[in-house]
Structures are given as structure tokens and as C-alpha cells.
């Protein structure tokens, strides 16, 4: 593969275990397998949606990619601005700091992710200041420009975040993330705290900015409808593992893993005429500190057979670009959404 | 339908205001609707639309400085000792008086969004349900415990004999919500108010809880007032829908009319703006401009006029539209229909 075609981000065998400590000596008595062997890549300019229910490890995966937390195992290769590919785990802290300019994060809650004592100018200008990029005048100009790009009036830059609504605050967070012209933006549930009427504004803004700035998104969300509107490809996680990954239309219309099919069927649609028969899964999401044997999904899976209880299914390409880890991925006919 | 003739709950021109030094927040500002026995009424709206305060007003648990300043809440009580049903105006009752206390928790039950904070962390879940039963029914401790175990089994809690002695934090989110429903149903209410009952739950757990509520309604015939911001959940569950915006009912009607022939510009715009799972991949959304105004900064006239695409200057910003019938049980408050 030539450098020009290699993906922007390539994650191999990513694993993150959190130790469970007990007793006076704080001995490690087990591990929460938050992320347990995840592989994926993201091409430049595309959006990969990462979905799953709470505790499935999607946020931990995102944070490992940014090295906000250190992965236990696995490699993260990123193609940097000069075209060379670096492994993030082998970077010195100083090198990492420079790399961080190219990867930024947008958070879920715009009410707690902005310092209430900083003005918009400080908030959006802080990354420029930290990286020594601009003097005061230039910084103000850049901030004004960024605010305009995210749909806020530059006159507001001396105000504090409390004067803004949730949607506007999310715009501030986006401006701050874009200040350093990142290549990769990790957005962790960026619209789930917003009112429904405001979600659409922010989703459209993210799509526009992606085109303008040639951004690559890792978009973490639990809402499958939101994911459909923004992603080129979608990855589904369950208890620390990836169960399926495919192009968006493909995974929504032809899911190959029973968990994906159940998730799709569980989404209530805003149309009373499509009250469909839902796949009601029994039981609850497995405990990542003591996952079941074999396929982690087998205790809830309506299609489980004996082999599912004992053997971990392999991550296989069931059709070009469509990956799933299910023993029966080839034979099952699962319903998606039309 | 004959049951349509006598509503179980009839709210007329309800106004609940919060008067503070900064000004008066008109959280509920002239809300009227009827709720019929055995029917699910969906109340939808974004944050600050007054949907939860309407519910709390009905139960008379509005926190100070909130106060019902006007309006009537007629509730049909089942006749005592085989006598005929009687109508009471809950708005006239003493919030902590004997009559209100005999209604609240017994004839009208409430389930909240956050089951963790609704249970005491230091008493077992079972004891809290037992307490509710003994408060409203003349049964002994042992009999109440037996009833509790039965009702836990009915709401799908496995091994209820053991669960009954567990603390809320020992249960998963889905089980806690089941326990919450068990507590609400323990006194066989005629009206169940569910305030965002599945918002904190994962989508597969949400399916289970919605399914459970539907099944229990079929068995017991109670009316459900389902408060949510999720239009999918409403389309799935409701028979009738009330759409609220800034303390007022903007539109109400049968669920099919609301979703397929919405009349109010807000309902229409809201339905256009939400992401849909059946959309084309990466389809662009049609957002509503602006954001929900701050409660102290309430627009004059029709509260939606600053965001409305069909705003008529001189009319919508001066006068407040009243609910007008536009079809069978379908009413809308908008000058376009006057």
C-alpha cells in the first residue's frame, strides 16, 4: 500500500483492561475487559460511526485512540500531516504533544466541558496559545473566524459560556476542537445532550465542516438514527469487542450479526404506522469483568447454537468490506431496516 | 368508543408558575387535555416545555416556589364501597392533605426517569414497595411481602424472592426500572404517569420496558400518561398525543394524525428535523432555526413565533393563539387555522 492510499488511522488488536482492586493491599483480583481486541481503520475524509450500548467500550476505544488513556495492548498507526505513518504508542511525550494538534475531541455535554470562567475568546483561543501559534491579535482574528465558521457571531467572543444555549455551547466546543486544524476529530456523543430540534443543526454543521476542513471523524454514539445520518461506515461493539463493521447502508439493510439486527429493530421509529414486531432481547448486557464463555452475546442471542457457548467467533469478512464476528454470519438471514 | 365519553383525567387551563426574584417562569401556561381510561396519552416536547411540571402539578408535588395559579384538574375516582365514581378537582386539594395522599401513589402512580435516585439507597427495594402497599392497603407485613414478590415476578424480575431483599444499587438499570414499575403498580392505579421512563436506558432495555408497560396496560386497563422527548417512543406507544412548547399545548390529536397530518408549524418542523433510521445514508437534515428560548426570556404572543417559518408579523408576536379544533379530536393552536 502506498502512503497516499493508507488509512488515516489504523487500529490493531486494541485492548484496554482496567484492574479491579480489592482489600487493604489493593491487590488486583480481576480485570474489567473494557476493550478486548478491536481492529478497524478510518480513511481520510470519512466518518466511522462507533455504536453500542453503555459499557460496550466505545468511549474507551475513542479515548485510547487519542491516547487520553494508555491502551493495555495494541497498535494505533496514524498517517500524519507530512504523509508518514507513525505508531502513537512509540512516541515520546514531546512528540505526542505535537501530534495531538492533529487529533481533537468533541465532548457530549456542552454544559460541563467548557470552563465557565473563560470567555469564548479564551476557550477557543487556548489551544492556539498552548501550541504557541499566534500572538494576541492573530489569535483574536482566528477565534473570530472560527466562531463564524461554526455559526456563532464573532462579537460574542468576550462573553462567557453560560450566556449560550446547549446547541450554541456545542458549537463553541466544536470551534475549540477545530482551532488547530486537526485531521482526526473524535466526537463522543456530540448531540445526545441536545434538544431534538437542535440536534439536526449540529449534525449538519459537522457534515459541512468535514467538507470544508477535510476532517476525518470517529463518531461515537448510541443513537442509530443519528449514526445513519453522518457515517460512511459503522462499527458495532458489544462488551468490549467489535461484532460487526460495514458500510452504513449495508449494515442497516443487511446486518449479519444478530446483535446488530436486535439493535436496529429496537429503535422506535417516529411513525405509528410502522409499529413493528421488535426483537425483544432477554436479559441484560454481560458484565465486562466476568464475560460469558464463547461468544459474549450467546446468552441473549435468539440464534445461538452449541458452538457459540464454547468458541469465540472469529472476526471475518463475510462480504467485501463487511466484517462480522458470528459463527452463523454466513447462514443467518437477518432483517435490517429498509 | 363509549369509553371516550367519560375522561379519567381532565385538565383545564392549568397554569403553574414559578415566581422568583428574577421574574416569573410560566412553566405551564394554560394547558388543557383529556385522558381516557385504558388509553396511552403521549406528552411530547423539548426541555422546558412544561411536560414534567404538568405531571407534577397533577400529582401536586411541584416544588416551591412553583404554584398552581389557575386551572382545574378533574380526576375521576373509582367509587368507594361500590358507590358511583366521583370527580375531584386535584388543583383544589391540599397538596399534603388526606385526600391527595390517598390518591397519590395509589390511584395515580408515577415512574421517573432515573430509577437510581428514586429509591432509597439504604432500604431494600422490597421494603420500599412493602411500605407503599401498607400505606394504601389494609394488609399485614407478611401479606404485603408476598404481594411484593408477586408483583416483582409480574414485571419480569427473575428470582424475586432474592431480589426483594436487595438494595437499589445491586440491581442493573433495567431491573431498577422494573422494580420502580412494580412499586407504581403495587396499588393498582387507574392512572400511571411515566416521566421519561426509558430515557436513561439502553435501547435494547428500552424495548423490554416499553413491551412490559404495554402488556401491563392490557392486563390492568390503566391509563398511561407517557411523557417523553422521544418521538419514536410516542409513535410506538401512544393512542393520543399532546405536543407542548414553552408551557403551552401547540397541538393535540390521535397519534396517526399527529405524525401523518401534523398541522402546527412546530410539530411539522420537529418531525422534519429528527434523524430517522430509515433515512438515506448521510441524508441532510432539515433543522429548526434557533433554540428553545430561556424561560425568563419568553417571547410575546405565540411562544414559537421567533423560530416559526410561517410567522405572520403583527399577529403571532402580539396575540396568543388558542387551541382550535381542526378535525376529529385534533386541535391546534396556531393563527394559520383561524
pLDDT at B1 > cutoff 50? no
Say if residues B71 and B91 touch (Cβ distance below 8 Å): yes
Partners of B175 on chain A (C-beta within 8 Å) are: 284
Mean pLDDT on A191-219: 92
Residue A249 in contact with partner chain B when CB distance is under 8 A: yes
Mean pLDDT on A240-257: 96
Do residues B184 and B196 both lie within one domain?
Answer: no
A258: pLDDT confidence band, cut at 50, 70 and 90? very high
Partners of B283 on chain A (C-beta within 8 Å) are: 229
pLDDT at A179 > cutoff 90? yes
Cross-chain residue pair B260–A273, CB shorter than 8 Å? yes
Residue B115 counted as domain residue: no
> Could you report the per-residue pLDDT of B283-329, keeping only the tens digit for each?
899 999 888 888 888 899 999 999 999 999 999 999 999 999 999 89
Per-position b or e across B22-32, b if 16+ CB within 10 A of its CB: eeebbbbbbbb
Q: Which residue has better confidence, A6 or A161?
A: A161
Question: How far is A320 from chain B, CA to nearest CA, in Å?
Answer: 19
Give DSSP secondary structure letters for A29-75: EEEEEEEEEEEEEE-TT-EEEEE--TTSSHHHHHHHHTTSS--SEEE
Do residues B87 and B136 both lie within one domain?
Answer: no
Partners of B282 on chain A (C-beta within 8 Å) are: 207, 228-232, 248
A2: pLDDT confidence band, cut at 50, 70 and 90? very low
- pTM (two decimals): 0.89
Question: How far is A134 from chain B, CA to nearest CA, in Å?
Answer: 33
- B205, B271, B275: residue with CB nearest A228: B275
Partners of B280 on chain A (C-beta within 8 Å) are: 249
Partners of B229 on chain A (C-beta within 8 Å) are: 195-196
Question: Which pLDDT score, from 0 to 100, does residue A294 have?
Answer: 93
Q: Going by C-beta distance under 8 Å and a sequence separation of 6 or more, which residues neighbour residue B192?
A: B108, B109, B110, B111, B184, B185, B213, B217, B222, B223, B224, B225
- A53, A197, A228: residue with CB nearest B204: A53
Residue A165 in contact with partner chain B when CB distance is under 8 A: yes
Least confident interval from A59-73, A282-296, B48-62: A282-296
> Could you report the per-residue pLDDT of A275-288, keeping only the tens digit for each?
767 788 888 888 88
Do residues B127 and B235 both lie within one domain?
Answer: no
Do residues B85 and B140 both lie within one domain?
Answer: no
Residue B161 counted as domain residue: yes
Question: How far is A202 from chain B, CA to nearest CA, in Å?
Answer: 9
- Which sequence spans correspond to the domains of chain A? 9-90+217-324
* CA dist., res. A205 & res. A203, Å (int): 5
> Could you report the per-residue pLDDT of B191-235, keeping only the tens digit for each?
999 999 988 888 888 988 899 999 999 998 999 999 999 999 999
Q: Which of A203, A239, A268 should we substitute to test contact with B (largest number of B Cβ atoms within 10 Å)?
A: A268
Partners of A223 on chain B (C-beta within 8 Å) are: 275
Which helix (H) or strand (E) is A104 found in, with range? strand A103-106
Say if residues B237 and B214 touch (Cβ distance below 8 Å): yes
**Residue where one domain finishes, among candidates B134, B169, B188:** B188
> Could you report the per-residue pLDDT of B240-296, keeping only the tens digit for each?
999 999 999 999 999 999 999 999 999 999 999 999 998 888 889 999 988 888 888
Indicate the number of domains in chain B: 2
Q: Which residue has better confidence, A112 or A170?
A: A170
Partners of A207 on chain B (C-beta within 8 Å) are: 282, 284
Residue B114 counted as domain residue: no
State chain B's mean pLDDT as an integer: 90
Do residues B142 and B199 both lie within one domain?
Answer: no
Do residues B147 and B236 both lie within one domain?
Answer: no
**Residue where one domain finishes, among candidates B188, B214, B236:** B188
Nearest to B242 by CA among B305, B110, B332, B311: B332
- Taking CB atoms and an 8 Å cut-off, how many pairs form between chains A and B? 159
**Residue where one domain finishes, among candidates B188, B223, B246:** B188
Which helix (H) or strand (E) is A283 found in, with range? none
Q: Within 13 A of B204's CA, how many CA atoms are on the CB side?
A: 23
Say if residues B302 and B316 touch (Cβ distance below 8 Å): yes
A22: pLDDT confidence band, cut at 50, 70 and 90? confident
Question: Which pLDDT score, from 0 to 100, does residue A338 have?
Answer: 73
Q: Which of B201, B230, B278, B309 should we substitute to test contact with A (largest number of A Cβ atoms within 10 Å)?
A: B278
* CA dist., res. B170 & res. B151, Å (int): 19
Say if residues B265 and A209 touch (Cβ distance below 8 Å): no
Question: Which pLDDT score, from 0 to 100, does residue B3 have?
Answer: 46
Do residues B7 and B151 both lie within one domain?
Answer: no
- B207, B232, B269: residue with CB nearest A269: B232
Do residues B235 and B290 both lie within one domain?
Answer: yes
pLDDT at A1 > cutoff 50? no
Question: How far is A253 from chain B, CA to nearest CA, in Å?
Answer: 9
Do residues B291 and B158 both lie within one domain?
Answer: no
Give DSSP secondary structure letters for A285-330: PPPTTSPPSSSTTGGG-TT--HHHHHSPPP-EEEETTEEE--TTTT
> Could you report the per-residue pLDDT of B144-168, keeping only the tens digit for each?
999 999 999 988 888 899 899 999 8
For residue B333, the domain's CATH number is 3.40.50.300
Containing structural domain, residue B141: 120-188
A104: pLDDT confidence band, cut at 50, 70 and 90? very high
Do residues B181 and B253 both lie within one domain?
Answer: no
Return the number of other C-beta atoms located less than 10 Å from residue B184's C-beta: 25
Question: Which pLDDT score, from 0 to 100, does residue B4 have?
Answer: 59
A9-90+217-324 domain in CATH 3.40.50.300? yes
pLDDT at B113 > cutoff 90? no
Cross-chain residue pair B275–A263, CB shorter than 8 Å? no
Residue A4 in contact with partner chain B when CB distance is under 8 A: no
Partners of A279 on chain B (C-beta within 8 Å) are: 207
Strand order across the A184-188 sheet: A103-106, A184-188, A216-221, A47-51, A233-238, A241-247, A322-324, A316-319
Least confident interval from A73-87, A116-130, A232-246, A268-282: A268-282
Least confident interval from A91-95, A165-169, A280-284: A280-284
Residue A272 in contact with partner chain B when CB distance is under 8 A: yes
Residue of B nearest to A202 (CA): B287
Residue A46 in contact with partner chain B when CB distance is under 8 A: no
Cross-chain residue pair B274–A203, CB shorter than 8 Å? no
With pLDDT > 90 as the criterion, what percentage of chain A qualifies? Answer: 70
Mean pLDDT on A19-41: 89
Cross-chain residue pair A225–B276, CB shorter than 8 Å? yes
Cross-chain residue pair A272–B281, CB shorter than 8 Å? no
Do residues B95 and B228 both lie within one domain?
Answer: yes
Do residues B146 and B235 both lie within one domain?
Answer: no
Amino acid at each position: 500500500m502506498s502512503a497516499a492510499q493508507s488509512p488515516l488511522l489504523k487500529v490493531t488488536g486494541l485492548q484496554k483492561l482496567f484492574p479491579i482492586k480489592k482489600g487493604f493491599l489493593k491487590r488486583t483480583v480481576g480485570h474489567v475487559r473494557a476493550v478486548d481486541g478491536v481492529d478497524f481503520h478510518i480513511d481520510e475524509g470519512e466518518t466511522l460511526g462507533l455504536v453500542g450500548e453503555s459499557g460496550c467500550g466505545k468511549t474507551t476505544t475513542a479515548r485510547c485512540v487519542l491516547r487520553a488513556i494508555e491502551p493495555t495492548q495494541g497498535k494505533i498507526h496514524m498517517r500524519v500531516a507530512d504523509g508518514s505513518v507513525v505508531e502513537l504508542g512509540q512516541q515520546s511525550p514531546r512528540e505526542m504533544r505535537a501530534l495531538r494538534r492533529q487529533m481533537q475531541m468533541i465532548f457530549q455535554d456542552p454544559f460541563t466541558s467548557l470552563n465557565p470562567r473563560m470567555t469564548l475568546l479564551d476557550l477557543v483561543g487556548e489551544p492556539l496559545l498552548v501550541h504557541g501559534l499566534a500572538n494576541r491579535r492573530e489569535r483574536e482574528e482566528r477565534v473570530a473566524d472560527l466562531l463564524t465558521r461554526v455559526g456563532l457571531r464573532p462579537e460574542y467572543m468576550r462573553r462567557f459560556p453560560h450566556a449560550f444555549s446547549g446547541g450554541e455551547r456545542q458549537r463553541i466546543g466544536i470551534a475549540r476542537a477545530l482551532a488547530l486544524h486537526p485531521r482526526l476529530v473524535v466526537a463522543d456523543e456530540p448531540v445526545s445532550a441536545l434538544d431534538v430540534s437542535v440536534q439536526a443543526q449540529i449534525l449538519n454543521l459537522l457534515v459541512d465542516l468535514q467538507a470544508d476542513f477535510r476532517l476525518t471523524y470517529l463518531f461515537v454514539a448510541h443513537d442509530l438514527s443519528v449514526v445513519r445520518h453522518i457515517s460512511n461506515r459503522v462499527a458495532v461493539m458489544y462488551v468490549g469487542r467489535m461484532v460487526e463493521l460495514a458500510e452504513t447502508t449495508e449494515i442497516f439493510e443487511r446486518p449479519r450479526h444478530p446483535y446488530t439486527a436486535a439493535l436496529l429493530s429496537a429503535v422506535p421509529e417516529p411513525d405509528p404506522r410502522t409499529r413493528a414486531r421488535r426483537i425483544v432481547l432477554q436479559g441484560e448486557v454481560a458484565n465486562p469483568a466476568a464475560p460469558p464463555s464463547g461468544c459474549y452475546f450467546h446468552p441473549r442471542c435468539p440464534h445461538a447454537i452449541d458452538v457459540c457457548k464454547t468458541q469465540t467467533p472469529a472476526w471475518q469478512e463475510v462480504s467485501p468490506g463487511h466484517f462480522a464476528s458470528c459463527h452463523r454470519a454466513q447462514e443467518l438471514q437477518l432483517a435490517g431496516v429498509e | 368508543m363509549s369509553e371516550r365519553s367519560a375522561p379519567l383525567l381532565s385538565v383545564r387551563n392549568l397554569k403553574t408558575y414559578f415566581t422568583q426574584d428574577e421574574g416569573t417562569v410560566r412553566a405551564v401556561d394554560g394547558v388543557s387535555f383529556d385522558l381516557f381510561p385504558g388509553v396511552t396519552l403521549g406528552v411530547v416536547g423539548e426541555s422546558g416545555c412544561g411536560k414534567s411540571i404538568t405531571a407534577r402539578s397533577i400529582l401536586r408535588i411541584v416544588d416551591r416556589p412553583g404554584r398552581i395559579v389557575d386551572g382545574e384538574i378533574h380526576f375521576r375516582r373509582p367509587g368507594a364501597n361500590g358507590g358511583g365514581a366521583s370527580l375531584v378537582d386535584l388543583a383544589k386539594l391540599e397538596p399534603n392533605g388526606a385526600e391527595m395522599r390517598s390518591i397519590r401513589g395509589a390511584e395515580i402512580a408515577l415512574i421517573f426517569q432515573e430509577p437510581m435516585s428514586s429509591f432509597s439507597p439504604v432500604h431494600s427495594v422490597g421494603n420500599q414497595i412493602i411500605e407503599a402497599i401498607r400505606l394504601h392497603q389494609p394488609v399485614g407485613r407478611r401479606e404485603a411481602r408476598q404481594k411484593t414478590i408477586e408483583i416483582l415476578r409480574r414485571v419480569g424480575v427473575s428470582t424475586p424472592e432474592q431480589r426483594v431483599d436487595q438494595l437499589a444499587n445491586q440491581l442493573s438499570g433495567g431491573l431498577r426500572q422494573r422494580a420502580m414499575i412494580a412499586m407504581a403498580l403495587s396499588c393498582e392505579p387507574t392512572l400511571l404517569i411515566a416521566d421519561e421512563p426509558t430515557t436513561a436506558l439502553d435501547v435494547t432495555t428500552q424495548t423490554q420496558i416499553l413491551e412490559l408497560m404495554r402488556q401491563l396496560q392490557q392486563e390492568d386497563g390503566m391509563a398511561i400518561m407517557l411523557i417523553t422527548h422521544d418521538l419514536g417512543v410516542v409513535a410506538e406507544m401512544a393512542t393520543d398525543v399532546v405536543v407542548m412548547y414553552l408551557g403551552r399545548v401547540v397541538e393535540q390529536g390521535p397519534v396517526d394524525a399527529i405524525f401523518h397530518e401534523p398541522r402546527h408549524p412546530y410539530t411539522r418542523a420537529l418531525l422534519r428535523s429528527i434523524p430517522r433510521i430509515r433515512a438515506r445514508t448521510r441524508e441532510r437534515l432539515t433543522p429548526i432555526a434557533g433554540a428553545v428560548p430561556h424561560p425568563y426570556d419568553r417571547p410575546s404572543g405565540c411562544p414559537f413565533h421567533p423560530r416559526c417559518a410561517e410567522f405572520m408579523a403583527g399577529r403571532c408576536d402580539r396575540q396568543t393563539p388558542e387551541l382550535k379544533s381542526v378535525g376529529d379530536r385534533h386541535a391546534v393552536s396556531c393563527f394559520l387555522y383561524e
